Chain A
Amino acid sequence: MEDKIVKTMTRMLLPFIQLYGIFIILNGHISPGGGFAGGAMIGTSLILYTIVFGLPKARKKFSHRAAEFMESGGLILYVAIGLIALIFGLPFLTNIEAGFSLGEPGKIFSAGMIPIIMIGIGIKVFSTMVSLFHILIEEEIS
């Protein structure tokens, strides 16, 4: 897209969109939001980048290799957190009884494994959205 206004506005707005997405993910256990909503926000920001600046430039920001890494990484993080409970002889994905600290309700570092799982879900949703968009748009160009 060869539009100066759109390019400048995108460049200015992108950090704020991504920051808000990260805020939504990290506050998932305190306020409405969570991994799915925040991941969708960050994913949408990179889709906007792809639309405005084109696929070759977006590939430098988010390559196939990064997509593969984050795709599996989010899921592995989730499963690894769940497996910690098995060490203590408890059911899969046990939260407080498995040694995660309860913390003070309302603070970021509280609620045991919930924030970590939210980060995993956020990474997963973000990379799924962006790489699906890239795969589809790649087919269109070639």
Chain B
Amino acid sequence: MKRHITNAFFIILFILLCYAVYEMPIDHTTDAPSYNEVVNHYIEQGLNDTGATNIVAAIMTDYRGFDTLGETIVLFSSIVAAASVLRPSKKKEEVDEHGR
């Protein structure tokens, strides 16, 4: 019973997502929501604003620098979490003597 409900749910979700794909803008018109004045500004003024010829680097570390800082903090917190869980402690031998 539970399985049928799950299957039905996923089929409905599949149809919904297929419908959503057809609602997307197909021809690359200028009305697409992602096409606004920001794109033109990056392409035309990117070199003057940042001096970087690689526009991806200019967007990543200058225009969206705060975003990349968050990305770096994610890396930091991931390594802290992994180390705190997995790194063997110095007291390990004592624990072994008393039996785990």
* Residue A41 at the chain B interface, CB threshold 8 Å: no
Question: Please, which residues of chain B bring their CB within 8 A of the CB of A89?
Answer: none
Which listed segment binds A: B2-10, B23-31, B32-40, B73-81? B73-81
Within 8 A of A (CB), among B69-93: 69, 72-73, 75-76, 78-79, 82-83, 86-88, 92
Interface residues on B, range: 20 to 34
Supposing A93-B69, A95-B50, A105-B52 touch, asked if A117 and B61 sit within 8 A by C-beta, the answer is: yes
- Does A96 contact B49, Cβ atoms closer than 8 Å? yes
Chain A residue, CB-CB nearest to B75? A128
Q: In the assembly, what is the distance between CA of A34 and CA of B53, in Å?
A: 12
A→B interface (CB under 8 Å): 28-34, 71-72, 74-75, 78-79, 82, 92-93, 95-96, 102-103, 105-106, 110-114, 117-118, 120-121, 124-125, 127-128, 131-132, 135-136, 138-139, 142
Interface residue ranges, B against A (CB under 8 Å): 47, 49-54, 56-58, 60-62, 65-66, 68-69, 72-73, 75-76, 78-79, 82-83, 86-88, 92
CA distance A113 to B79 in the complex (A): 26
When C-beta atoms are compared, the residue in chain A nearest to B83 turns out to be A135
Question: Which residue of the partner chain, among B50, B51, B60, B75, contacts A34 with CB atoms under 8 Å?
Answer: B60
Cβ contact within 8 Å between B76 and A142: no
Asked if B54 and A71 sit within 8 Å, CB to CB, the answer is: no
A residues near B52, Cβ cutoff 8 Å: 29-30, 105, 110-111, 114
A131–B26 alpha-carbon span in the complex (Å): 45
CA distance in complex: A64, B79 (Å): 12
CB of B75 to closest CB in A, whole Å: 5
